Structure 1
Amino acid sequence: MSAFAGGQTYLNYINGEWTAAAAGKTVPSINPARPHEVVGYVPASDRSDLDRAVAAAKAALRPWRKLSGAARGDILFKAAAALERRADEIAETMTREMGKTLPEAKGETLRGVAILRYYAGEGMRRIGDVIPSTDSEALMFTTRVPLGVVGVIAPWNFPVAIPIWKIAPALVYGNTVVLKPAQETAVTAVKVVECLAEAGIPAGVLNLVCGSGSVIGQGLAEHPDVNGITFTGSNQVGKRVGQAALARGAKYQLEMGGKNPIIIAADADLDQAVEATISGGLRSTGQKCTATSRVIVMRDVYEPFKAKLLDTIASIQVGDGLDPDVWMGPCANKQQLDTVLGYIQKGLSEGAALLAGGGRPSDPALAEGFYVQPTVFDNVSPGMAIAREEIFGPVLALIPVDTLEEAIATANDSEFGLSASVYTRDIGAVLAFIQEMDAGLVRINAETAGVELQAPFGGMKQSSSHSREQGQAAIEFFTSVKTVFVKS
């Protein structure tokens, strides 16, 4: 039975209490499959709400950091159990808010459970090293201390996993947090925070403030009492966040765009390569920073690969993500739909050949939602906008090449460097790809999308601020090293 209750009004979470925005304003969160359906009303907060949340986080910092790592981790273990109990409800909320299919939403929610448990264990791992001193009568060692108040600015495409992989390490390492979720998925964010509240997190340690990016997100970046900012989103917004943090000396971490290539070598298993291209490029309606966008194919296998790709795409069913027969849901919002359709028109105007899709579905039942067809372009040259700019939608650009060297050069011809993959059986090609590919994540005989939670994640070039998230690498951002010299 569905736990969905449409039209409910949700609140901010500040200093351990659920509270309305000071101005009393709310905005609707709508279902992109049926935009007339309101999933819930969320606060339209202003700077006064943010100031209260930051003040609460600052006041809670000292007692929270004085707890042992094990004690902080125990709260994350309890939060994981609460999230697991509510996984079906939260997954359904996610599907209703941003459109991804229910199996994808359930998988993401359970990934959030796993992330919480992983970082709960971090509370018991080492945080320093003993270093030999030149003074034989002294002890010298390092330890780590939390940054302080951390602002988390999260996107709408992974509304459970991404906030949790930022919040969980921040908390276990002794920081306090102010979370600003995307407005499109704020109801999902509320439910995640409810799990942490249920776990007994002390008042002020975790705060949730819903509102626009220009007010709350930028306000976090500029706030004098916020010691660090972790952001996932577009390059344009990320650079503004980074500049604001830099201007006042705050630490910042930016995970931004991608234009991720997959290389199909002449010796590739084409069936596997087609499956990976479609899964990496079209699942979640292409709304992943690691989604496959450029498909670089050796001419020797270009035509058979293309035929298999088009044959498989023809069978994809587009529709409401709650429908068990649907493989691809809508774009998350009207703006994103318009962006994707605009890039399709750019591709046509630049001379690319449209092989599949290219517009809205013809099914009248889908006319209201923010749906777009899975789209494939042929005759794409590396200089076209659809081969250079992040679309964040289900659009694949096929680019033929003659050699592996040309393929890698084409893949590297981008301002982005987040994720890349190659399909080949040739160990020499594999080693060349690993060595020469300018991306933070390289995958061999696997799709570009996806990263394991225990592994560092982040990009090169314009894809990130060159820091890494997830795994034990997270400690590098959320803490500072303190060197200790002790002599009797």
Structure 2
Amino acid sequence: MVVNTEIKELGHFINGEVVLGKSGKFSDVFNPSSGEVIAHVPLASKEEVHDAIAKAKAAFPAWRALSVGKRAEIVMKFRHLMTDRIDELIKIICTESGKTIEDAKGEITRGLESVDLAINAPHLLKGEYSVNVGGNINAYSTKAPLGVVAAISPFNFPVMVPLAITSMAVAVGNAVILKPSERVPCSALFLSELWKEAGLPDGVWTVINGDKEAVNELLSNPTIEAISFVGSTQIADYIYTTGAKHGKRVTALGGGKNNMVVMPDADLEQVANAFLGAAYGAASQRCMAISTIVPVGEETANNLVKILADKISKLKVGPYTDSEVDFGPVITKQSKDAIVGFIDRSLEEGATLVCDGRNPKISETSDGFYLGPTLLDNVKPGMEIYEQEVFGPARNVVRVATLEEAIDLINEHELGNGVTIFTNNGAAARKFTSEIEVGMVGVNVPIPIPVGYHNFAGWKRSRFGEGHMFGPDQVRFFTKTKTISEKWFEENSESVSTFAFPSNND
């Protein structure tokens, strides 16, 4: 282990300032590229979270009362500050997550789409108005913020996911508490700095660092009205079940086993190039990464595996400071060991090793958490590496004979986050998009992540609750609707009592 003499002592961001932790519990933050500890992050106690929630609650009424136009101005200023200081933010992301510079830049760009949508809150908050629905009564609706809401984000997108699950919540008038992954707290604290500089009132934005104790307080505290979560399926299930039990509105997005179906008519060179980035980008630590490629027909499979083997052997793994690398390390040594375990067990179960990334050359000179790209052929349903989400660069080939077999294979899996088909046959694409039971579907698009103004969420056990991570559904999730019926009587008008149920007959 490399010894770092400049370890940062981090804090929480509460009521407009960074405050030191009081629990006495800390977690190490690593630079995955070097294996060194770069910071200590405090893990908040239940009492600390409770106090932060109280401060957010106190800040909410004034923020709710501020005009939506003024709130949008602050969000816009936040966006400008973020773009002005993007190089600082890229360095933070790369240092604490191991991403390449280009990948970090892409993450920020996608995150800004959610900010852009939030800037449009004045338009998105417009209600409905109907004149004379009956008896000279006008009816209209308004949208109101919920109050104090919480967001819990994962390590693999230190900026994009926090922006996606908080920007609209802020813009529509809520006070927001973000609990980022304790593995990547520096990015969230940097965002806090930008919100402060943008003019967001103290208490409206809070960052609490912590583990399960902090999460449980967010899930059970009666002041928290809603929870938005992104992470593993197991934890998403827990977040949804626990939060709903305490009467909260919950959206919890889990993992995915995303398949790329390849039809015999597809251009295999294009398929292979698309697969590389979609499968191995960010060391495969994306919930929308392609984990399994499904060639239809033995000839398609044989030709595709041969092309992939050649291309994968040329991929380069290393630190973000090397501009020639294709992807960096996984997030922790524990993650690396777990991924190697998946590979080892798949070989015991009968998979065929095409490319072995368990001991990349860089591991000889670095203590970073590096794995090279691994490709396994002849993987079958029922094998652990097929059934489980492997959050690292170990990808599978599952061979099928027909498109129908591919559709059935995918539909039978418990996860349904993303899927794509590569084909030049419109009828095949139509059949696939119509029959597949997955939330986000691509046709010749390797990673079918919607842009920030479309809703993002999977199906089946990839999503718990009815909300989405970004898109217009964020407005619905973070507001409540009030419908008002009003009638004004003319002076000296006559009135009579009626005992019939109100209707529009008048």
TM-score range, shorter chain: over 0.9
Shift of 1:25: 4.7
Determine if the alignment matches structure 1 residue 65 to structure 2 residue 64: yes
Partner of 1:481: 481
Partner of 1:383: 382
Deviation per CA, 1:306-351: give whole Å up to 9, x if none. 1111111111001112211111100011221122111112211111
Counterpart code for 1:419? G
345-354 vs 118-127, which moves further: 118-127
- Report if aligned partners of 2:79, 2:112 keep a CA contact under 8 Å in 1: yes
Partner of 1:353: 352
Counterpart code for 1:195? L
Partner of 1:469: 469
Shift of 1:366: 4.7
State the alpha-carbon separation in 2 of the partners of residues 194 and 17 from structure 1.
Answer: 9
State the alpha-carbon separation in 2 of the partners of residues 28 and 386 from structure 1.
Answer: 29
Partner of 1:336: 335
217-226 vs 365-374, which moves further: 365-374
State the alpha-carbon separation in 1 of the partners of residues 444 and 109 from structure 2.
Answer: 25
Kindly report which structure 2 residues correspond to 1:23-42, keeping only aligned pairs within 5 A, or say none. Answer: 23=23, 25-36=25-36, 38-42=37-41
Q: Which runs of 5+ in 1 are unaligned?
A: none
State the alpha-carbon separation in 2 of the partners of residues 359 and 182 from structure 1.
Answer: 26
Counterpart code for 1:296? V
Secondary structure at 2:301's aligned position in 1? helix
State the alpha-carbon separation in 2 of the partners of residues 467 and 348 from structure 1.
Answer: 39
1:320/1:253 CA distance change after superposition, 3 Å: same
State the alpha-carbon separation in 2 of the partners of residues 136 and 447 from structure 1.
Answer: 56
Partner of 1:254: 252
Secondary structure at 1:183's aligned position in 2? coil
Secondary structure at 1:140's aligned position in 2? strand
Kindly report which structure 2 residues correspond to 1:227-306, keeping only aligned pairs within 5 A, or say none. Answer: 227-299=225-297, 300-306=299-305
Secondary structure at 2:271's aligned position in 1? helix
1:366/1:131 CA distance change after superposition, 3 Å: farther
- Scaled by the length of structure 1, what TM-score is found? 0.95
State the alpha-carbon separation in 1 of the partners of residues 132 and 458 from structure 2.
Answer: 37
Partner of 2:400: 401
Shift of 1:260: 0.5
- Scaled by the length of structure 2, what TM-score is found? 0.92
Kindly, what percent of the aligned residue pairs are identical? 32
Partner of 1:448: 447
Shift of 1:228: 0.5
116-125 vs 67-76, which moves further: 116-125
Shift of 1:122: 2.1
Shift of 1:132: 5.7
Shift of 1:28: 2.9
Counterpart code for 1:471? G
Partner of 1:162: 161
State the alpha-carbon separation in 2 of the partners of residues 128 and 17 from structure 1.
Answer: 36
State the alpha-carbon separation in 2 of the partners of residues 290 and 267 from structure 1.
Answer: 25
State the alpha-carbon separation in 2 of the partners of residues 431 and 6 from structure 1.
Answer: 56
Aligned residues: 483
Partner of 2:493: none
- Report if aligned partners of 1:321, 1:327 keep a CA contact under 8 Å in 2: no
- Report if aligned partners of 1:81, 1:113 keep a CA contact under 8 Å in 2: no
Deviation per CA, 1:140-182: give whole Å up to 9, x if none. 1122111211111010000101001111010111111111010
Shift of 1:134: 4.1
Partner of 1:20: 20
Shift of 1:200: 0.9
Counterpart code for 2:40? Y
Counterpart code for 1:241? I
Shift of 1:26: 3.8
1:39/1:346 CA distance change after superposition, 3 Å: same
Partner of 2:496: none
Secondary structure at 1:123's aligned position in 2? helix
Kindly report which structure 2 residues correspond to 1:58-457, keeping only aligned pairs within 5 A, or say none. Answer: 58-131=57-130, 134-212=133-211, 214-299=212-297, 300-448=299-447, 450-457=449-456
Kindly report which structure 2 residues correspond to 1:40-51, keeping only aligned pairs within 5 A, or say none. Answer: 40-51=39-50
Shift of 1:368: 1.3
Partner of 2:495: none
- Report if aligned partners of 1:319, 1:366 keep a CA contact under 8 Å in 2: no
Shift of 1:449: 5.3
State the alpha-carbon separation in 2 of the partners of residues 202 and 234 from structure 1.
Answer: 33
State the alpha-carbon separation in 2 of the partners of residues 12 and 390 from structure 1.
Answer: 31
- Report if aligned partners of 2:441, 2:448 keep a CA contact under 8 Å in 1: no
When Rg is computed on C-alpha atoms for both structures, the one with the higher figure is: 2
Shift of 1:365: 4.2
- Report if aligned partners of 2:52, 2:206 keep a CA contact under 8 Å in 1: yes
Q: Which runs of 5+ in 2 are unaligned?
A: 489-506
Counterpart code for 2:46? R
State the alpha-carbon separation in 2 of the partners of residues 232 and 366 from structure 1.
Answer: 35
Shift of 1:450: 3.2
Shift of 1:120: 1.2
Superposition CA RMSD, Å: 1.7
State the alpha-carbon separation in 2 of the partners of residues 19 and 58 from structure 1.
Answer: 18
Counterpart code for 2:162? P
Deviation per CA, 1:259-294: give whole Å up to 9, x if none. 011100010111111112111110011111111011
1:12/1:346 CA distance change after superposition, 3 Å: same
Shift of 1:256: 0.6
10-19 vs 154-163, which moves further: 10-19
- Report if aligned partners of 2:318, 2:362 keep a CA contact under 8 Å in 1: no
State the alpha-carbon separation in 2 of the partners of residues 47 and 200 from structure 1.
Answer: 29
Partner of 2:491: none
Deviation per CA, 1:7-47: give whole Å up to 9, x if none. 232221111121111235543311011112x3333222211
Secondary structure at 2:176's aligned position in 1? strand
Counterpart code for 1:273? V
